[in-house]
Amino acid sequence: MSERVAVRKTYKLFIGGKFPRSESGRSYLVQDANVSLASRKDARDAVVAARAAVKGWAGATAYNRGQILYRAAEMLEGRREQFVALGVPGDEVDAAVDRWVWYAGWSDKLPQVYGGANPVAGPYFNLSSPEPTGVVAVVAPAAPALLGLVSVIAPAIVTGNTVVVAASPAAPLAAVTLAEVLATSDLPGGVVNILTGRLSETVPTLASHMDVNAIDLTGVADADLAADLEVKAAENLKRVLRPAPVDHDWFADPGITRMTALLETKTVWHPKGV
Amino acid sequence: MFEYAPAPESRSVVDIKPSYGLFIDGKFVDPTDGGSFKSINPASEEVLAEVAEGGAGDVDRAVRAARAAYEKVWGPMPGRDRAKYLFRIARIIQERSRELAVLESLDNGKPIKESRDVDLPLVAAHFFYYAGWADKLEHAGFGPNPRPLGVAAQVIPWNFPLLMLAWKIAPALAAGNTVVLKPAETTPLTALLFAEICQQADLPAGVVNIVTGAGETGRALVEHPGVDKVAFTGSTEVGRAIARAVAGTRKKLTLELGGKAANIVFDDAPIDQAVEGIVNGIFFNQGHVCCAGSRLLIQESVADRVLESLKRRMAQLRVGDPLDKNTDIGAINSAAQLARIRELSEAGSAEGAERWSPPCELPERGFWFAPTIFTGVTQAHRIAREEIFGPVLSVLTFRTPAEAVEKANNTPYGLSAGIWTDKGSRILWMADRLRAGVVWANTFNKFDPTSPFGGYKESGYGREGGRHGLEGYLNV
Amino acid sequence: MRRLPGMTATATSARSDLSELGRSETALRTFLHGLPGVDQVGAEQRAAQLGTRSIKTTAKAQAIDLAIRMVDLTTLEGADTPGKVRALAAKALRPDPADPSCPHVGAVCVYPAMVPHVAEVLRGSGVHLASVATAFPSGQAPLEVKLADTRAAVEAGADEIDMVINRGAFLAGRYKEVYDEIVATKEACGDAHLKVILETGELATYDNVRRASWLAMLAGGDFIKTSTGKVPVAATPPVTLVMLEAVRDFRAATGRQVGVKPAGGIRTTKDAIKYLVMVNETVGPDWLDPDWFRFGASSLLNDLLMQRTKLTTGVYAGPDYFTLD
């Protein structure tokens, strides 16, 4: 009896909840798979999708966002073996699931921890609350392929931002597989968009895009490129998260700064009177 | 008729020296490069003092002094002792508040009633507030061991010279940083008097350094490789340049930039208070306020009535001598700013908006601009999009709450917004949707040291004031 | 939706006929509750801000003389006697016997029983004679009694009547009852001017003060007055500010000008001048006249006189040099 012929997976982009090929029709070979080589136009389309998703996602209740993120962790857990098959160590998948769960729980706690009433010297109600900044461009770290990716996506979206992620060119398969997890997690289309391909094609477009509110340069290893992207980001005063140090320990407690760096604080005043 | 006789505040309370050096390492020193400029009274164009212009060498000296003070004295000092110095400074500011207020009005042109009743009380309160944080940083919510950044480079604008200094220096010092601050070139005098207050408080040398000068001095400061933190308040254009300048460095950056705030009046608003809020929103400090309510959005059904009340109220505004206790609107800070206000106002007329000012006699010398409103303005007009930074209000109308939100958010800025309505649920609905860092509902232009202030979008990033204000000065 | 019919207009173009409102409880309620709200904090801040005006030299001298002319020199005590009120009336005519240039006050204000004694002294002087009526200060008497009280005071020589509104009815939302009482009292006044006391200290909110002001004006009051002076909270600057805004808006809507009288708690020249500044900047010079603005006060007059003397002589005066009546 001959061996069963496998059905291979096509690795595509993840934009607006759908899996399109690059509009450029190009691909590149990674781990024996053809992966889409995203173009500037794909980056543009991803920003449009991310922007369209902001209203619903930022407007969803924190409880609802937490539920959806937790659901994503469940899906991730279920696909553990797929990631292992891609070469992601089992303990890294476990850590990624745990991290996703950890961030899921923050959705309805961060506004309490990071916001609050301010005791102003006058007859006023005064409350500061964090709000998502909007569309965030994220350059994912090359390694660890899955944990690094989860560690930059989850903190950005749990508070209500939407993201356009430039996956590491060296590790796109984990990214596209994660997209499949997200696509089956009740996450609204457009909240997470993932581009594979060369950073040099997509990231400068994202850094200079005037409808992107923040950029996370975590995965940019080249210091000159990072500086150049930060200069581009200054054009509309994007919030910038600078590259992570090379020795960054992705397994350590991440703290809340990845979330707070992508938040705005809104302070509302109202007089107290009869 | 009830004419108010002049009621000038005495300027003899302040002793202005003919010339000032730079304040570096606890002493006033001459600039190495030897330049100087004049600070004038914008209400009379009289020269108040000759002020040193710091060059790159002076900036370097100041940064080195700040670094040494950070490493040897201020960094290692226990928080409770830093607190005591800040409390001491707060007290001295209170004790010398009239002197500071008069000097602020002379150098800036703002009415004495504002410098006396708004700026100075807030300045002292700011130092008091952050003094209390100095020994409690581990409880501020930024982790168990928050550390200072090092040397902070701070560049401040001319609209609230001493208040902006307080917003910058108080949290920086409380968190354990040392600072080099550059005041605006048109308003350096209260910062220099503050330097004397640091001496009076026996603040260790080098903890606070004040380097006066113009744009080039500021550039040298923010670009200096020895600074760990840059804080800037001013125009979006300069903020952008600073963001580019610090790109790729370790410097932590906070920016508090321009605004084009919408002040939204619904038909069920408390009209009389709304009119006060509109007036305060745009004419406070001659409109030289980044969070000024410079776009008035009135619901169409009450537009005529609100405008009628507004015009009647504007006719009561007293423009003139900043030192007169009855002056509501003082002098425009500089000839350059006056030219910009005129240019944009002329653009408003040219683009077809209808211009109105109350009858108003302006002094002959000095820089003055009558309180002005433009009606019939649309979102496409320059005066509805660009920050004028003067006493000029653009009036637009809307029909529904959703339209008000859409128009309010239709700007690259996002610093502040105002809402006037008696309906609580509508306030909260609006506040949720307005993309602005401060939302004043049924009030406007309120500030407090405990309340974070700062913008969305191109109005900058980071917050000043409150617990949030510490974050920009800590390694978190 | 809040509407003030016709208020959008410049003074002449669109005056409204509001006379029909008093015909039904519903119409009155709809109208009064449709008035713009008052934000307490904002109103108090505006009043405080006006209080920081610095009035010096010539402006101060002018303000003091105006304030003297606006004083309703008042005594409303159970212990009042003909002798006491005659002395007060004499002081009203010549507040500073040492200075003939000192103007006389606006009016003398007494209980109805004292009116005849005051009338003798004031006759022909130009000083008005005001009498509280309508079962002052509580107003808790049958309407007929209140109207009889009013008529008696007018017949005895009062040309101004200070009535109290029925606060119980107002707070219970029976606006028509309050309205009808004011209409009836106005009728009982004949030619005498009617000042309607809102007793703002019992109305609890500025929204109520604004509504009560409009109610009193709609019903025909010639003046609206803050207080009886018999409850703990009397006139305050923000209450007066809200009432001034009401008379301003009422004139814009109807063309009829109504006066304002803060009463109680105004004791110093400084306070009085703050009120004048508020009048000046809220309703303008049309109201800066004893016909349109009064102070209900007793001890205020002596402080005004002391300050007046200080301005003329340059030295601070002492209370021993002014008459206590």
pLDDT tens, position by position, B23-48:
999 999 999 977 999 999 999 999 99
* Residue C135 Ramachandran class (φ > 0 left, ψ -120 to 50 alpha, else beta): left
Q: Considering B53, B104, B290, B458, which one is annotated as catalytic?
A: B290
Measured from the Cβ of residue C6, the count of other Cβ atoms closer than 10 Å reads 17
* H-helix or E-strand spanning residue C164: strand C160-164
Domains of chain A: 12-271 (3.40.605.10)
Q: How far is CA A229 from the centre of its chain?
A: 18
Cα B205 to Cα B20, B127, B179, B226: the distances in Å are: 18, 19, 11, 18
Percent of chain C, pLDDT > 70? 95
Q: What is the mean pLDDT of residues C80-93?
A: 97
Closest CA–CA distance from residue A240 to any residue of chain C (Å):
40
Give the orientation angle of helix C300-313 with respect to helix C269-282, to 10 degrees.
Answer: 90
* pLDDT value at residue C10: 40
Name the percent of chain B lying above pLDDT 90: 98
Three-class DSSP category at A203 = helix
Interface residues from chain B to A (CB-CB < 8 Å): 125, 141, 143, 236, 239-241, 243-244, 247-248, 255, 257, 412, 427, 431, 434, 436-443, 446, 448, 450-454, 456-458, 460-461, 463, 466-468, 471, 476
C1 at interface of B, judged by CB pairs closer than 8 A? yes
Percent of chain C having pLDDT more than 90?
A: 89
Going by the DSSP 8-state scheme, the letter that residue B474 receives in this structure is: B
For C150, half-sphere exposure in the C-beta direction (CA atoms, 13 angstrom radius) is 30
Subunits in contact with chain B (3 or more CB pairs closer than 8 Å): A, C
Contacts of residue B424, defined as CB under 8 A and 6 or more positions apart, other chains included, come to: none
User: Whole-angstrom Cα distance, residue B20 to residue B141?
Assistant: 41
Phi and psi, residue B55, nearest 5°: -100, -175
Between the CA atoms of A104, A106, A111 and A116, what dihedral angle is there, to the nearest 10 degrees?
Answer: 160
Test A273 with C39 for CB contact under 8 angstroms. yes
- Token pair 């992207």 is at which residue? A229
Sequence-ordered list of residues with C-beta below 8 angstroms from that of B188, at least 6 positions apart, any chain: B20, B39, B51, B107, B161, B212
What span, in angstroms and rounded, lies between the C-alpha atoms of B435 and B377?
A: 22
Structure tokens at A154: 């989850």
Q: Which of C13, C35, C39, C40 to mutate to test the interface with B (most CBs of B within 10 A)?
A: C39
Residues of chain A with pLDDT under 50: none
pLDDT value of residue C17: 80
Are B463 and B437 a contacting pair, CB within 8 Å?
Answer: yes
pLDDT of residue C323: 86
CA atoms within 13 A on the CB side of C234: 15
Residues of A in contact with B445 (CB under 8 A): none
Task: Note whether A128 contacts B476, CB cutoff 8 Å.
Answer: no
Task: Please tell me if residue A121 touches chain C, with a CB cutoff of 8 Å.
Answer: no
Q: Which of A49-53, A188-192, C6-10, C28-32 has the lowest mean pLDDT?
A: C6-10
| pLDDT value of position C263 | 97
Q: Is the pLDDT of residue C8 over 60?
A: no
Please check whether residue A201 is in contact with residue A66, taking contact to mean a CB–CB distance below 8 angstroms.
no
Instruction: Give buried/exposed letters for A188-207 (b at 16+ CB in 10 A, else e).
Output: ebbbbbbbbbebebbbbbbb
Which pLDDT value is given to residue A1? 61
Mutation test of the interface with chain C: which of B1, B3, B4, choosing the one with the most C Cβ atoms within 10 A? B4
Tell me the count of B-C CB pairs closer than 8 A.
81
Separation between Cα atoms, residue A96 and residue A71, nearest integer Å: 14
Q: Using the beta-carbon criterion (under 8 Å), do A120 and B451 form an inter-chain contact?
A: yes
Q: For residue C11, is pLDDT > 60?
A: no
Tokens, residue B149: 């950044």
Cβ atoms within 10 Å of C281's Cβ, excluding its own? 20
- The Cα of A265 is separated from the nearest Cα of chain C by a number of Å equal to 25
Q: For residue B256, what is the nearest residue in chain A, using CA coordinates? A: A237
Where residue C6 falls among pLDDT bands split at 50, 70, 90?
Answer: very low
User: Which chain B residues have a beta carbon less than 8 Å from that of A120?
Assistant: 446, 448, 450-451
Q: Low-confidence residues of chain B, pLDDT below 50?
A: none
Interface of C with B in 229-288 (CB under 8 A): 242, 245, 276-277, 280-281, 285, 288
Name the H helices within A60-109: 62-78, 80-85, 90-106
For residue A268, give how far its alpha carbon lies from the nearest alpha carbon of chain B (Å). 5
C29-to-B463, C7, C172, C213 alpha-carbon distances in Å: 47, 18, 12, 14
pLDDT for residue C4 is more than 80: no
Q: In degrees rounded to 5, what are phi and psi of residue C7?
A: -75, -5
Which pLDDT does position C1 carry in this prediction?
Answer: 35
Catalytic residue flag (residue B256): yes
Residues C187, C165: Cα–Cα separation, whole Å? 15
Instruction: Judge whether C48 is closer than 8 Å to chain A, CB to CB.
Output: no
| Phi and psi based region of residue A2 (left: phi greater than 0; alpha: psi -120 to 50; beta: remaining) | beta
Q: Is the pLDDT of residue C224 over 90?
A: yes
Q: What subunits make at least 3 CB pairs under 8 angstroms with C?
A: A, B
Tens of pLDDT, residue by residue over A186-232, are 999 999 999 999 999 999 999 999 999 999 999 999 999 999 999 99
- Measured between alpha carbons, how far is C320 from A257 in angstroms, rounded to an integer? 73
Q: Is position B291 annotated as part of the catalytic site?
A: no
Q: What is the distance in angstroms between the Cα of A119 and the nearest Cα belonging to chain C?
A: 17
Q: What angle do CA B215, B436, B386 make, to 5 degrees?
A: 50
Neighbour count for residue B265 (Cβ, 10 Å): 27
Are B244 and A234 an interchain contact pair (Cβ–Cβ within 8 Å)?
A: yes
Q: Is the Cβ of B200 closer than 8 Å to some Cβ of chain C?
A: no
CATH number for the region C47-312 comes to: 3.20.20.70
The string of pLDDT tens digits covering residues A211-221 is 999 999 999 99
CB B127 within 8 A of CB B90: yes
A–C CB contacts, 8 A cutoff, strictly below: 15
Beta-carbon contacts of C78 under 8 Å, excluding residues fewer than 6 positions away, are none
**pLDDT (average), residues C6-19:** 55
Report the distance separating Cα B333 and Cα B390, nearest Å.
Answer: 10
Q: B326, C54: Cβ pair inside 8 Å?
A: yes
**Residue B152, both tokens:** 């902070």
> How far apart are the C-alpha atoms of B443 and B277, rounded to whole Å?
6
- The shortest C-alpha distance from C202 to chain A (Å) reads 14
